[in-house]
Structure 1
């Protein structure tokens, strides 16, 4: 399986460049709706429900959930792009078939897809960060590292989504991915409340969710607290990312060579 890495080349960035060009032609429909979703959560949950909650872990409720919403975009952006978007390009548009008829390899296509998902996470995550900062919910200069975290986390989550996409016999099967994987992570990975409020078994399950570690890092960077947990979270995410990246390349090879 590790042998699939040998097919990666600089042409991955040509795939990314193609997606960039398409994005700039369709940015109004590609960027604005995903940007509004976390904003509505911040206003509704943070300030609506937050009016009923005094503090959470020593901070106001809007300040608590703001980093979680930034982190959630690092998951949802690549999930949508590398599950739905990649499936459309593979199955309906036959974009991948056209790409591999050139010197671009299957591994280049997969890597380019993941790079694009990571860039989408960075664009949307940074946009939400700017809004959060405008609301006065950022307490540390360390937020300057969040765009880099968006790229890192977006690549990892994109690899998870792309791996699943290769198993989809029809686009309707993406509903299982969102319902069984994305929604539980969104709700139970520490976005809206501390995971310590969950039963012990659920806390253990949350630890294995990539979003849990992404939320931890984002919250630490936004508040300047609990910085000592960042190295452990980064190590876990790195191991997870390497595993899913290699597996996504393997699965793309299997799917496209059928």
Structure 2
């Protein structure tokens, strides 16, 4: 449940979002949707099929999850870090009765909301053209919400540990890009060499993609619940590390 302080942060971010809503919606909707269509109708036309289905159907759930991850990490990662270190937009919060924990939670929730927004058009299109069965939409949305919170927490954790923007560049290069390409989004994981396959299982995105694909394909087996358990553990770690370290940074701004 979202507490009052966290809701104030969400509302504050929404008001700022409205000021640049045209550009923001292009970034959230147009760019991912264009890539989605290129993958499905462009590259998909060159591939006969993957695992007994069209390439578009194979890639759709994973690409939506990967897009969600990208938006969430950027919003609570470099986005929040910029507010914190350069724009000093949070300094005014020291004048209102709101705790540091509520600030952190509010930013994480807002990052998750933006991530979810970025998947909506792709999800509706997938439903319309039959890539995802209608009866699975609610279950998929639950996975999206769960995953959005986890990756938003990851972005906040990285923001809490970073000293400058170079830290984010390093994180993108060493973690986000390998995770994006090695998590079963664009091709089956069994195509990877054994050592890369082992590495891919470390990534939270891999487990999110596997869980989402299991739902869309109707293959709910024991591994599905293992994927959810792994995601829960990652989420617990990310948010607690973020709380501990980000509170220290907010102490400086709040002059405590």
The question of a shared fold, defined as TM-score above 0.5 by the shorter chain, is answered with yes
Where 1:257 maps in the other structure, the secondary structure is: helix
* CA distance, structure 2, for counterparts of residue 100 and residue 185 of structure 1: 37
Within 5 Å, give how 1:45-56 maps onto structure 2.
45-56=39-50
* CA distance, structure 2, for counterparts of residue 222 and residue 230 of structure 1: 12
TM superposition shift of 1:50? 1.8
Q: Counterpart of 1:114?
A: 108
Q: Counterpart of 1:184?
A: 178
TM-score, length basis structure 1: 0.89
Q: Counterpart of 1:244?
A: 238
Q: Counterpart of 2:126?
A: 132
Q: Counterpart of 1:74?
A: 68
TM superposition shift of 1:58? 1.3
TM superposition shift of 1:9? 5.5
Contact 2:36–2:122 (CA under 8 A) maintained in structure 1? no
Contact 2:33–2:121 (CA under 8 A) maintained in structure 1? no
Residue by residue over 1:82-118, the C-alpha shift from the partner in whole angstroms, topping out at 9 and shown as x without a partner, is: 1121012112221222213322111111111100011
**Aligned pair partner of 2:82 in 62, 85, 88:** 88
- How many pairs were matched up? 251
**Aligned pair partner of 1:19 in 13, 16, 33:** 13
Where 1:137 maps in the other structure, the secondary structure is: coil
Where 2:161 maps in the other structure, the secondary structure is: coil
TM superposition shift of 1:212? 0.7
Bigger mean CA offset, 244-253 vs 101-110: 101-110
Within 5 Å, give how 1:225-240 maps onto structure 2.
225-226=219-220, 228-240=222-234
Q: Counterpart of 1:170?
A: 164
Where 1:138 maps in the other structure, the secondary structure is: coil
**Aligned pair partner of 1:197 in 191, 198, 211:** 191
Contact 1:70–1:218 (CA under 8 A) maintained in structure 2? no
Mapped pair 1:223 → 2:217: yes
TM superposition shift of 1:144? 1.9
* CA distance, structure 2, for counterparts of residue 194 and residue 127 of structure 1: 25
Contact 1:143–1:221 (CA under 8 A) maintained in structure 2? no
Contact 1:72–1:186 (CA under 8 A) maintained in structure 2? yes
* CA distance, structure 1, for counterparts of residue 251 and residue 218 of structure 2: 48
Residue by residue over 1:144-178, the C-alpha shift from the partner in whole angstroms, topping out at 9 and shown as x without a partner, is: 22233222111111111111112333234322122
Unaligned residue ranges in structure 2 (runs of 5+): none
TM superposition shift of 1:26? 2.4
Contact 1:125–1:147 (CA under 8 A) maintained in structure 2? no
* CA distance, structure 1, for counterparts of residue 218 and residue 25 of structure 2: 29
RMSD: 1.9
TM superposition shift of 1:228? 4.5
Residue by residue over 1:99-148, the C-alpha shift from the partner in whole angstroms, topping out at 9 and shown as x without a partner, is: 13322111111111100011111111222211222333123511222233
Mapped pair 1:209 → 2:203: yes
TM superposition shift of 1:209? 0.7
Where 2:50 maps in the other structure, the secondary structure is: coil
* CA distance, structure 1, for counterparts of residue 68 and residue 176 of structure 2: 12
